[in-house]
Amino acid sequence: MGIEVGGLLGLILLVLMVYAIVKIVQSGAGTASKVIWVVLILLIPVLGLILWLLFGPKG
């Protein structure tokens, strides 16, 4: 039994994930860092987004 996210909450999560991935790709961080952040966000979306907001590449 997994945790399923649907409806409006799922749409919001999808939009936030796409926003985060675009910001990561546009950042000045190294390629390895970008790949790690994108994989983290794709594998564990909610926790990955929270960690990215707190510790992710800035600018």
User: Nearest to residue 24, comparing CAs of 11, 10, 12, 39?
Assistant: 39
User: Nearest to residue 41, comparing CAs of 53, 32, 29?
Assistant: 53
pLDDT at 1 over 60: no
Greater pLDDT, 2 or 24: 24
pLDDT at 14 over 80: yes
Mean pLDDT of 30-50: 91
pLDDT at 57 over 70: yes
Residue pair 21/38 in contact (Cβ under 8 Å)? The answer is: yes
- Contacts of residue 35, Cβ cutoff 8 Å, sequence gap at least 6: none
pLDDT band at 59 (very low <50, low <70, confident <90, very high): low
Greater pLDDT, 26 or 59: 26
